[in-house]
Protein backbone atom coordinates (compact mmCIF):
# COMPACT_ATOMS: atom_id res chain seq x y z
CA UNK A 1 0.00 0.00 0.00
CA UNK A 2 1.32 3.45 -0.81
CA UNK A 3 1.26 4.90 2.71
CA UNK A 4 2.18 1.65 4.50
CA UNK A 5 -1.17 1.41 6.27
CA UNK A 6 -2.28 -2.01 7.43
CA UNK A 7 -5.19 -3.66 5.65
CA UNK A 8 -7.17 -3.83 8.89
CA UNK A 9 -7.13 -0.03 9.09
CA UNK A 10 -8.83 0.14 5.70
CA UNK A 11 -11.48 -2.31 6.87
CA UNK A 12 -12.08 -0.12 9.93
CA UNK A 13 -12.36 2.98 7.75
CA UNK A 14 -15.12 1.27 5.78
CA UNK A 15 -16.74 -0.32 8.83
CA UNK A 16 -17.29 2.85 10.91
CA UNK A 17 -19.71 4.56 8.48
CA UNK A 18 -21.51 1.28 7.88
CA UNK A 19 -22.09 0.81 11.61
CA UNK A 20 -23.22 4.44 11.87
CA UNK A 21 -25.77 3.95 9.10
CA UNK A 22 -27.10 0.78 10.71
CA UNK A 23 -27.37 2.40 14.15
CA UNK A 24 -29.31 5.34 12.71
CA UNK A 25 -31.57 2.91 10.84
CA UNK A 26 -32.26 0.84 13.97
CA UNK A 27 -32.93 3.91 16.13
CA UNK A 28 -35.25 5.46 13.56
CA UNK A 29 -37.26 2.26 13.19
CA UNK A 30 -37.63 1.66 16.93
CA UNK A 31 -38.47 5.30 17.68
CA UNK A 32 -40.77 5.59 14.61
CA UNK A 33 -38.88 8.63 13.31
CA UNK A 34 -40.04 9.91 9.94
CA UNK A 35 -38.15 8.76 6.86
CA UNK A 36 -36.83 12.17 5.78
CA UNK A 37 -35.29 12.83 9.21
CA UNK A 38 -33.57 9.44 9.13
CA UNK A 39 -32.18 10.11 5.64
CA UNK A 40 -31.04 13.59 6.63
CA UNK A 41 -29.27 12.22 9.70
CA UNK A 42 -27.55 9.53 7.64
CA UNK A 43 -26.45 12.13 5.10
CA UNK A 44 -25.00 14.35 7.82
CA UNK A 45 -23.16 11.37 9.26
CA UNK A 46 -21.69 10.59 5.82
CA UNK A 47 -20.56 14.20 5.41
CA UNK A 48 -18.94 14.08 8.84
CA UNK A 49 -17.05 10.88 8.09
CA UNK A 50 -16.13 12.09 4.61
CA UNK A 51 -14.66 15.35 5.90
CA UNK A 52 -12.90 13.54 8.72
CA UNK A 53 -11.38 11.10 6.25
CA UNK A 54 -10.11 13.98 4.12
CA UNK A 55 -8.39 15.52 7.15
CA UNK A 56 -6.95 12.33 8.69
CA UNK A 57 -3.65 11.18 7.23
CA UNK A 58 -4.39 7.46 7.54
CA UNK A 59 -7.29 7.21 5.10
CA UNK A 60 -7.47 7.71 1.38
CA UNK A 61 -9.36 10.29 -0.63
CA UNK A 62 -11.46 7.75 -2.52
CA UNK A 63 -13.31 6.60 0.59
CA UNK A 64 -14.08 10.21 1.45
CA UNK A 65 -15.31 10.86 -2.09
CA UNK A 66 -17.65 7.87 -1.99
CA UNK A 67 -19.06 8.98 1.36
CA UNK A 68 -19.63 12.52 0.10
CA UNK A 69 -21.35 11.20 -3.05
CA UNK A 70 -23.55 8.99 -0.87
CA UNK A 71 -24.38 12.03 1.25
CA UNK A 72 -25.55 13.93 -1.84
CA UNK A 73 -27.82 11.02 -2.80
CA UNK A 74 -29.19 10.82 0.75
CA UNK A 75 -29.88 14.58 0.84
CA UNK A 76 -31.80 14.22 -2.43
CA UNK A 77 -33.81 11.28 -1.12
CA UNK A 78 -34.56 13.17 2.12
CA UNK A 79 -35.85 16.11 0.08
CA UNK A 80 -38.07 13.84 -2.02
CA UNK A 81 -39.31 12.02 1.05
CA UNK A 82 -40.24 15.24 2.85
CA UNK A 83 -41.97 17.10 0.04
CA UNK A 84 -43.53 14.20 -1.84
CA UNK A 85 -43.47 10.89 0.07
CA UNK A 86 -45.22 9.02 -2.76
CA UNK A 87 -42.37 9.88 -5.14
CA UNK A 88 -39.61 8.82 -2.74
CA UNK A 89 -37.91 5.61 -3.73
CA UNK A 90 -36.72 4.80 -0.23
pLDDT digits (tens, 9 = 90+) for 20-39: 999 999 999 999 998 889 99
| Alpha-carbon gap, residue 17 to 36, rounded angstroms | 19
pLDDT digits (tens, 9 = 90+) for 60-78: 788 888 899 999 999 998 9
| Alpha-carbon gap, residue 42 to 71, rounded angstroms | 8
| Alpha-carbon gap, residue 58 to 64, rounded angstroms | 12
| Residue 15 to residues 8, 19, 31, 47, 60, Cα–Cα distance (Å) | 10, 6, 24, 15, 14
CB 78 within 8 A of CB 36: yes
Helix segments in 1-34, DSSP class H: 7-30
Mean pLDDT of the chain: 85
pLDDT for 42 equals 94
pTM of the model: 0.82
CB 20 within 8 A of CB 52: no
Amino acid sequence: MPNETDLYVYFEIILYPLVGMLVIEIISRTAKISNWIKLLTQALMCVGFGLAYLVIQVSNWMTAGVLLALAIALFYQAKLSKFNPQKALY
